[in-house]
Amino acid sequence: MTSPTSYQQNITEFPVRNIEKIHLPKDLEALKTILLQAGESNRPVYPISTGHNWGLGSRMPVNDADIIDLKHLNRIIEVNRELRYARVEPGVTQQQLYDYLEVHAPELMLNVTGSDSGSSILGNIVDRGSGKSGHRAEDLRELTVMLADGQLIRTGFGELQGSQGSFYKYGLGPDLTHLFTQSNYAIVTEAVVNLRVKQPFNLYLAVLDKSGLKGFLNKMAELVAQELVGYSLEIDSQNDPKIYELFESGKDFNDKWFAWFVVTGHEEVLPAKHSVVTKALGSLVAELKAYPSSDDHSSSTPPVRVRIDRYHGQPNDHSLLATARKFGVELSGKEVNLDLYPQIPGFRCVLPVIPFTGASSDIIQYLESFSKSRGLDPAISIIALNDYSLEVFVRVYFDRSDQSAISQAGTWARDLLSELKQQGIYPYRLDIENMAPYLQELKNPYTLLQCQLKNLFDPNNIIAPGRYS
């Protein structure tokens, strides 16, 4: 039997939860048996897809529970080229779907994340993660879920016979799909996710002065709303480990932000869009460079190369490898699992979601000054989820063997969440440590209704107790 110990190791150094067993079901029958037995013995279970939930809990449950690791349910059940979707099980990784599409539907791509190539599609979507081209939840069409009593339910039109594939996601009547994202009402066994047609694009890298963030965000919000720029914006602070290779040239980039974004379109349209975008941004940025997707980027710096790959739908491990390398560790091997390398610094993160407006630059300034007042130097990425929301991924790194640094980072995250809440700024995802206390304080008629729904779906509270509830 797989040992629970490795499932307790986590890059964030969250206190260890009691995990007695790791279940590794090979099919839905086995999953049903595990769920029914968990109900009979009143022993909670916590499902994970590939468990790369780094920064938010890794493979650990919110409260003590046995793990149901769904990595062996890893079939790509269907790819529909005409209707552009894939139906996948929990264990299907970004790399697995990419490899499949390259052979069977090379014109299509997934909106991949910046996490590693071995992370799941389904686990990320049910945690409502973010892709390189927008919010992953918005790519979701349908789910199949197993309830605590073993019953399988398909959302959308999934239950209806004679359907001609997944082409209308709402079904009839109340739409239940998102009841099962950021949720503990059921175990998700299949997801139908959008695929996109690959198109030519230009990747841009803009270097901004810190004081220019407000004007830049205002202009980008306009360009994204006009559909000149895709939901691709990512702005990184200079100390973000995943871009450290940009500075190997020795050029002085102090006090700058680094903004990446993509302009997509048919090759006859792209030059016109390029001209509008460069004119619009010209006076707002210190530097602006375009990297056409059609060029050979094999000699470009890695942060450029890997972004070109991702916008072609090809995932990679660069964010992890670069972070490790910046701290002097070379990761090797097939599976890159940050949890298992205590020599790489740990990190704590907070993930506020803020309006996509120039005024939000004040919030970014606040995140920096709050952290600096604690003697911490936060790395910050600002990421477009769509044309009106930005995710902020703010984190601090610490030595995993230093108890006082671990506890300082934990206090920073808790206090920052609380301070932001006072200002009406909320996270779009929470880690397993802050989930319960944060949500308890939010108590309102909406969260009470969520609890009532939990009682309806899982009256014995067997599935992932405490997860977003």
Ligand X SMILES: Cc1cc2nc3c(=O)[nH]c(=O)nc-3n(C[C@H](O)[C@H](O)[C@H](O)COP(=O)(O)OP(=O)(O)OC[C@H]3O[C@@H](n4cnc5c(N)ncnc54)[C@H](O)[C@@H]3O)c2cc1C
Cα–Cα distance between 206 and 288 in angstroms, integer?
Answer: 4
CA distance 133 to 131: 5
Q: Least CB distance from residue 257 to ligand X, whole Å? A: 18
* Interface mask toward ligand X for 65-94; x: CB under 6 A: -----x-------------------x----
Tokens of 62: 């919110």
Q: Which stretch binds ligand X (CB under 6 A): 32-40, 42-50, 244-252, 396-404?
A: 42-50
CB of 187 to ligand X, least distance (A): 5
Shortest Å, Cβ 359 to ligand X? 25
Min dist CB 54 to ligand X, Å, is 4
Of residues 4, 25, 44, 47, which one binds ligand X by CB under 6 A?
47
Q: Decide: is 430 part of the binding site for ligand X (CB under 6 A).
A: no
Residues between 109 and 168 with contacts to ligand X, criterion CB under 6 A? 113-115, 119-120, 122-124, 126-127, 129-130
Among 8, 12, 49, 133, interactor with ligand X by CB under 6 A: 49
Alpha-carbon torsion (95, 99, 101, 102), positive or negative = positive
Of residues 137 and 270, the one with the C-beta less far from ligand X = 137
Interacting residue with ligand X among 50, 337, 434, 469 (CB under 6 A): 50
* C-alpha dist (Å) from residue 20 to 4, 60, 363, 405, 431: 7, 12, 42, 29, 22
Q: Is 439 helix (H, G, I), strand (E, B) or coil?
A: helix
Binding to ligand X (CB under 6 A) within 163-202 occurs at 187-188
* Nearest residue (CB) to ligand X, 393 versus 412: 393
Angle between helices 403-422 and 435-442 (to 10 degrees): 20
Q: What Å distances lie between residue 323 and 90, 244, 252, 327, 364, CA to CA?
A: 27, 8, 20, 7, 22
- Which residues of 276-434 form beta strands (DSSP E)? 287-292, 346-350, 353-355, 379-384, 389-398
Amino acid at 424: G
Q: Which lies closer to ligand X via its Cβ, residue 188 or residue 195?
A: 188
Amino acid at 91: G
Strands (E), 106-221: 108-109, 130-131, 134-135, 140-146, 152-154, 187-194, 196-197, 201-209
Among 9, 238, 323, 361, binds ligand X (CB under 6 A): 323
Of 49 and 228, nearer to ligand X (C-beta) is 49
Region of 25-33, 154-162, 269-277, 319-327 interacting with ligand X (CB under 6 A) = 319-327
Cβ distance to ligand X smaller for residue 43 or 274: 43
Q: Per-residue string for binding with ligand X, 259-298, x by CB under 6 A?
A: ----------------------------------------
Smallest distance, ligand X to C-beta of residue 233, A? 13
191 neighbors 142 (Cβ within 8 angstroms): yes
- Give the type of residue at 229: V
Q: Bridge-partner residues for 66, per DSSP?
A: 45
Q: Which stretch binds ligand X (CB under 6 A): 27-35, 53-61, 217-225, 284-292?
A: 53-61
Instruction: CB nearer to ligand X: give 116 or 387.
Output: 116
Distance CA 43, CA 67 (A): 11
Specify the pairing of strand 85-88 against strand 187-194: antiparallel
d(C-alpha 130, C-alpha 270), whole Å? 26
- What does DSSP say about strands 152-154 and 140-146: parallel, antiparallel, or unpaired? antiparallel
Q: Closest CB to ligand X among 35 and 188?
A: 188
Residues contacting 240, CB < 8 A, separation 6+: 258, 379, 380, 381
Closest distance to ligand X from the beta carbon of 47 (Å): 4
Selected binder of ligand X within 140, 320, 364, 425 (CB under 6 A): 320
**Nearest distance from C-beta of residue 140 to ligand X, angstroms:** 13
Interface with ligand X (CB under 6 A), residue from 52, 135, 310, 454: 52
Question: Mask: binding to ligand X, 326-365, rule CB under 6 A, as x and -?
Answer: ------------x---------------------------
End-to-end CA distance of the chain: 31
Binding stretches for ligand X (CB under 6 A): 47-55, 57, 70, 90, 113-115, 119-120, 122-124, 126-127, 129-130, 187-188, 319-320, 323, 338, 464, 467
